[in-house]
Amino acid sequence: MKSLGMIFLFVLAVTSTFSNGVVIPQFPLEQDSGGFVMNTHNVHITVEDGIATVIIEEEFENTSTRLLEAVYLFPIPSSAVISDFTMKIGDQILKGEVLPADEARKIYHEIVAKMKDPALLEYVGTQLIRMSIYPFEPGERRQFFIEYSQPLEISSNSYSMIYPLKIDSFLSAPIGSVSVRISVPLQIAEVYSPTHPFVETTGVSGREYVFIGNDLIPNSDVALVLTSSEDEIPSSLATHWDESTNEGYFLLTLIPRIKEEIVIPKDVVFVLDISGSMYGEKIEQAKRALEQVLQMLRPGDRFAIVTFDGRVHNLTGSLLDASEKAEWIEKVRRIQADGMTNIYGALQTSIDMFSKYDTGRFKALLFLTDGEPTEGITDIGRIISDATPEARARNVHLFSFGVGTGVVAELLDRLVQENAGRVSYIIEGESIEAKVTDLYRSIETPALENVTVSIENLDVKKTLPEGPYSLFSGQALRISGIYFDEGDMRVTVEGTRGGEKYRYEYLFKTSKRSDSPFIERIWAQKRIAHLANLYRYDPSLTEAEKDELKLEIIALSKKFNIINEFTSYLIAPERVQTYTAGDRGGLGAAPPADSVMAAKSVAEMEQDQFVEGGSSDYTFVDGIGFTLEEGVWIQDDEEVNTLESLGLAAYSEAYFELANRSDWVAKVFALGDRIRFIYKGVLIEISDEGIQTLDELLDALNKQ
């Protein structure tokens, strides 16, 4: 049985924030007989004076072939004030009832035992809105409306909240249409989500940020940070204190809002791989992306276009004024793909097009390829070592796009690390056009270059990412780190714009409040990404030093429940790969697809995106690893193979008693109905057979 437990796990973990409703049939449905699907899930959040008003609209449909009796459940956030909760059937409006935690717990247990799925155990301990649904006719649709208000958590001059979108419930298909819309007043400078790509837009009541998804299977909850606007560079400091380690984590957000009294012109060189492997949809998407970038050029900007296969084609010959872009849009549409891949020549030609002396211009090289170097100089080290000093001499920012699984991740990663840029990996199913244009939109208005950030008056460690940085108008630079006491933090930001120097000073206060746990996870992801790049690419490391990095990556991954394509190599290599590890941190001999996916994971962590999933047969429960082997979730602990097991029947009286005794055990049970784990030194084995009653459980535990 596919476990739904990890979906509900996070919902319970954030009952002080927002939760979604689920429709549960009164009796288990037969396999392949259909079920409940969610057609729409629309959320509108309005923020004013630190209060969020949340309106949720969900539509469920009975796709089974029979009339069903069901119940709609909605966990209530502890600080929320419910103003409306209704179900609509045609013109009929029905209200729900609110149940206390004790009665809710009983309902959860009854449903778990009846449905033979442990997922609902994760709701235990919260209050509950319940509404009975009968009859629910085949093909019928029901709409649910929830409205409530809730004060947001405040830290320095920012608000934070989490909306748990990570739901599967008992749906038999992806959610048809999902939208999360947040409306903010002018006092909010930016809404930032490390988990979902929100787009700023203009709504009926002012500025809005919107996330939209279609046919969506949510795999991450929505984390939001709302930063207030006060200074020329509106900045904020959000913190989270870990009582167990007596240290705190901070997220420093710098958002440039420099008035463009002098528009900074840009030089943009677009370098496009047109080798034979780009033939078809890849080249068409890339051409559309290039066309969109040309359309976005401003007066005073300059551009150049270089394509390459086995040879290098300097199409424009030199940097051209933006006024000539219309003519070149037509020429771009006629580009064709064929030939080999001369990456070395393409980089040398494109970098040489930038002047060393135009200090008042922002210089960006957008480099797109789907393969490895096969023509000209193909040695990766030589390509990087020859391109880097020339790019630095011209102050060029290099942005790489790796398309598909045939690219050399080391080459693209190292190029952007050495040249103040960013890398983006575009795998099957993702849009080249969207990735390129989104990146260009974010760098369209440069604010400050060669930025350094210094932190004084407070002891901080392991700040990431390391500078120097570049800042762009309307975008944020986020720096994470660890602090050890509450107090004043003085931050100095220095950089250049149009050849002029700028300096800004800020004073923040750290605290020992423990109300923003996502901040420590952002830091952990940045730290893992930093260590991963050292592990993979630093040639000066000894094997002993690489082993130390590996151990820290594994420890961070387990502590903060972060598993992805890179960390899975290190945490459970025997379950992820069977080939011999090479000199690149276990990736040197990896198949190209695995290498690219690992690099993609590291790049996403560096760019503040929460990375979910990874290996489908490995997961965490509060930092404890579990692997799925032949349908059984087994705790990743050597003692599992040495202890004598105690059999426990799933969904029995003894099963629920053990779940009630330990929150961690309840979360473990949410993995499925076949599990082997260690509880207080006893190896527990959950299956269809085993002890059933409370007396048997107590007697067995006492004998251990």
| CATH number, position 383 | 3.40.50.410
Q: What is the average pLDDT value for the chain, to the nearest integer?
A: 79
- How does residue 133 score in pLDDT terms, banded at 50, 70 and 90? confident
pLDDT at 176 over 60: yes
Same structural domain for residues 120 and 240? Answer: no
669 lies in the same domain as 653: yes
User: What pLDDT score does 686 carry?
Assistant: 94
Question: 346-382: per-residue pLDDT in tens?
Answer: 999 999 999 888 878 999 999 999 888 999 999 998 9
Q: How far apart are CA 197 and CA 191, in angstroms?
A: 11
- pLDDT of amino acid 130: 66
The pLDDT of residue 573: 58
Is the confidence at residue 152, as pLDDT, over 50?
yes
SS3 6: helix
451-463 in b/e burial notation, b at 16+ Cβ within 10 A?
bebebeebebeeb
Q: Are residues 346 and 394 in the same domain?
A: yes
**645 within a domain of the structure (yes/no):** yes
Q: Which of 134, 100, 109, 118 is nearest to 26 (CA)?
A: 134
pLDDT tens digits for 648-701? Answer: 998 888 998 888 888 889 889 888 889 999 998 899 999 999 999 988 888 887
Domain contains 614: no
Whether residue 11 sits in one domain with residue 136: yes
**Residue 282 or residue 50, greater confidence:** 282
Q: Does pLDDT of 502 surpass 70?
A: yes
Which residue is associated with the tokens 């419910």? 82
Position with higher pLDDT, 622 vs 325: 325
Number of domains in the chain: 5
The residue segments making up the domain with residue 666 are 619-703
Question: Which of the four pLDDT bands, split at 50, 70 and 90, describes residue 82?
Answer: low
Same domain, 343 and 288: yes
pLDDT surpassing 70 at residue 118: no
Strand partners, 202: 207
- Higher pLDDT pick, 310 / 130: 310
Quick: pLDDT tens for 438-494.
788 878 888 888 899 999 999 999 999 887 888 887 667 889 999 999 999 999 999
Q: Return the exposure string of 61-90: e unless at least 16 CB atoms fall within 10 Å of the residue's CB, then b.
A: bbbbeeebebbbbbbbbeebeeeebebeee
Average pLDDT in the 95-123 region?
58
In this prediction, residue 17 carries a pLDDT of 31
Q: What is the pLDDT of residue 124?
A: 47
**Neighbour-count burial for 621-636, b at 16+ CB within 10 Å, e otherwise:** beebbbbbeeebbbbb
Distance between start and end Cα atoms, the chain: 31
468 and 550 assigned to the same domain: no
How far is the C-alpha of 326 from the C-alpha of 683, rounded, in Å?
70
pLDDT of residue 167: 57
Last residue of a domain, one of 384, 414, 443: 443
pLDDT-derived band at 268, boundaries 50, 70, 90: very high
Among the candidates 206, 228, 250, a domain finishes at 228
550 and 506 both lie in a single domain? no
- Residue 471 inside a domain? The answer is yes
- Which of 104-113, 126-135, 252-261, 380-389 is most confident? 380-389
Lowest mean pLDDT among 107-121, 307-321, 324-338, 340-354: 107-121
151: which residues sit within 8 A by CB, 6+ positions away?
50, 51, 52, 79
| 117 shares a domain with 39 | yes
Report residue 116's pLDDT band, with 50, 70 and 90 as the boundaries: low
Shared domain for 415 and 523, answered yes or no, is no
CB 69, CB 136: distance < 8 Å: yes
3-state secondary structure of 418: helix
- Could you tell me if 176 and 32 lie in one domain? yes
Q: DSSP label at 297?
A: P
What confidence category does residue 561 fall into, taking pLDDT thresholds of 50, 70 and 90? confident
- Tell me the average pLDDT across 575-584: 37
User: How many CB atoms sit inside 10 A of residue 373's CB?
Assistant: 22
Phi, psi of 552 (to 5 degrees): -70, -40
- Tell me the mean pLDDT in the region 144-166: 73
Q: For the residues 633-655, what does the mean pLDDT come to? A: 90
The answer to whether residue 117 sits within a structural domain is yes
In a domain? residue 279: yes
- Among 456, 489, 510, the domain boundary falls at 510
Same domain, 522 and 578: yes
Q: Is the pLDDT of residue 578 over 50?
A: no
Q: Say whether pLDDT at 520 is over 70.
A: yes
Domain membership of residue 612 (yes or no) is no
Angstrom distance (rounded) from CA 248 to CA 512: 7
Q: Looking at the domain assignment, is residue 613 inside a domain? A: no
Asked which of 325-339, 516-530, 563-577 is least confident by mean pLDDT, the reply is: 563-577
Identify which of 232-241, 430-439, 532-541 has the greatest average pLDDT: 532-541
Q: What is the pLDDT of residues 296-314, one digit of tens each?
A: 999 999 999 999 999 999 9
Provide the 3-class DSSP secondary structure of residue 446.
strand
Q: What integer pLDDT is reported at residue 672 of this predicted model? A: 83
Token pair recorded at residue 43: 């959320």
Over residues 500-513, mean pLDDT: 89
Neighbouring residues of 538: CB distance < 8 A, sequence distance ≥ 6: none
Q: Give the residue with greater pLDDT, 246 vs 103.
A: 246
- The verdict on 574 and 432 lying in the same domain is no
- Which residue type is seen at 195? T
Q: How confident is the model at residue 591 (pLDDT cuts 50, 70, 90)?
A: low
CATH code, domain with 491: 2.60.40.1230
Indicate whether 199 pLDDT > 50: yes
Burial 506-519 (b: 16+ CB within 10 A, else e): bebebbeeeebbbb
Listing DSSP states for 312-348 in one string gives EEESSSS-EEGGGHHHHHHHHTT----S---HHHHHH
Please count the other Cβ atoms lying within 10 Å of the Cβ belonging to residue 612.
Answer: 15
* Mean pLDDT of the region 133-158: 76
pLDDT of residue 488: 93
Is 20 a domain residue?
yes
pLDDT of residue 440: 87
